[in-house]
Amino acid sequence: MNHEVKNGAGSNAASRSFPGSGAAIRPASGLLQVSYELMTPGPTQVAENVRQALSLPCVNPDLDPDFYSFTEGICHDLERFFHTEDHQALILSGEGILGIEAAFASMTEPGDRVLVLDNGVYGRGNADFVSLYGGTPVLYSTDYHAPIDPSALESYLAADHGFAFAALVHCDTPSGMLNDIDALVPILHRYGIPVIVDAVSSAFGMPIDLEKTPADILCLGSQKALSAPPGLSMLLVGPAAWEKMDRRRTPIASFYASLPAMRNYARDQWFPYTMPSADMNGLRQALNNVLSDPGIFLRHGKLAAASRAALREAGLSLYERAGFSDTVSVFLVPDGTTDREILSGMRREGILLAGSFDVLAGKVIRIGHMGENARAEKLQRTFRALQKVLTGLEIPLQADMEQVFLEKLQES
Ligand SMILES: *Cc1c(COP(=O)(O)O)cnc(C)c1O
């Protein structure tokens, strides 16, 4: 091995051989082997049992009848996990963006006016998908430092509610913004507006109950709090969304991103394209890990609160004024240094953090505490390293972040 493995989750598959996998994989064969601990807000760390599941012998997903029941089993567990009997779960072979694009491709018809709730980079970005599929996006833009105010949205809709559907982001990851979907979705529904909710970076780290808050399409990804590798999108599609698709006057301008193309896979025993069976074994195991972890939401909440306290007490400023996600913490790059200096310093300490992009590029640093990243000892190491790096950059800090983090965690 070239690199010392620095974390529990990163124990080394390269030196092992699993049944059916043939000889042990050697780093010399040109594989990408990391020497840092991923603490980014996606992709997140992947547990060893998920990596083992990914390496099982391959099946032929089209010809093996067991593969259909295997897929249905995952989908039914997703439906149960999100508390719904009305929604159908679907799995698409493509990173989280494919699921989001598929939702817009399938829902948007030329001429549709679509309400795009924008208080973050992903929120605004949804307007591009609307335009791409021939709709007219109408942006409802509010402060990026705070969640969307339900009563302000209510007043806006009282004056104008002629929308084919609306789009909303639960956790807007580049800023760490958390919108209150439990308050916002019912307001949109009162005006008969179906809602697409991007929950890619909140789901599995924060509770979402589709019985209580029936988002019409809920978009999920494999690589955030679920802690499987990037590559899969999951969606939960409700009756009002299917009805809108059934009523289309024009065909969906995509095959790969068509939800109706995937809808009847179980009945017809037919997938529109060959499914990524290895990725889906990883997904199955990652979902098992979540299902057997009843304390998962509580843990995310406690670790997030302790992380915010550590950053604040050290004198750093959080990007958000209100609306904090339990899955990611975002702080402003302090005066006197740059995001690059902090990120490269952290990487030298063996920890990968993230900057941000679009209007937030260069302005903030993000710590992803979701899924397998959401473990006290990993965040403890992260804050110890961050303290060292910022001190080395001569940024004055008012408290020891590792100590505050541990204290707050103990109190919670
Ligand atoms: C990660 C993420 C996605 C998927 O997009 P990436 O290509 O992984 O950036 C979509 N929406 C949100 C809110 C996300 O955090």
Share of the chain above pLDDT 90, in %: 92
Confidence of residue 14 (pLDDT cuts 50, 70, 90): very low
Residue nearest to atom 4 of ligand 1 (CA): 96
Asked if 45 and 227 touch (Cβ cutoff 8 Å), the reply is: yes
Joined together, the tokens standing for residue 371 give 């899924």
Q: Which of 219, 268, 269, 216 is nearest to 244 (CA)?
A: 216
358-387 burial: b if 16+ Cβ within 10 Å, else e:
eebeeebbbbbbbbbbbbbebbbbbbbbbb
Residue 40 CB coordination number (10 Å): 23
Least confident segment among 26-30, 170-174, 285-289, 328-332: 26-30
61-89 pLDDT, tens digit each:
999 999 999 999 999 999 999 999 999 99
Does residue 288 surpass a pLDDT of 60?
yes
Q: Which of 229, 94, 100 is nearest to 168 (CA)?
A: 100
CA 362 to chain centre: 22
Residue 97 Cα to ligand 1 middle (Å): 6
CB 198 less than 6 A from any atom of ligand 1 = yes
CB 324 less than 6 A from any atom of ligand 1 = no
Residue 5: per-residue pLDDT: 33
Does residue 8 surpass a pLDDT of 90?
no
Q: Which of 44, 117, 124, 173 to mutate to test the pocket of ligand 1 (most atoms within 8 A of CB)?
A: 173
Joined together, the tokens standing for residue 30 give 């040109």
CB 61 less than 6 A from any atom of ligand 1 = no
Residue 78 CB coordination number (10 Å): 23
Residue 27: per-residue pLDDT: 58
Residue 57 backbone phi and psi in degrees, to 5 = -55, 145
Does residue 216 surpass a pLDDT of 60?
yes
Joined together, the tokens standing for residue 171 give 């956790």
Residue 25: per-residue pLDDT: 53
Q: Which of 330, 79, 100, 85 is nearest to 200 (CA)?
A: 100
Residue 315 CB coordination number (10 Å): 13
Cis peptide before 43 (omega within 30 of 0): yes
CB 169 less than 6 A from any atom of ligand 1 = yes
CA 94 to chain centre: 14
Least confident segment among 7-11, 130-134, 271-275, 293-297: 7-11
Residue 371 Cα to ligand 1 middle (Å): 15
Asked if 383 and 405 touch (Cβ cutoff 8 Å), the reply is: yes
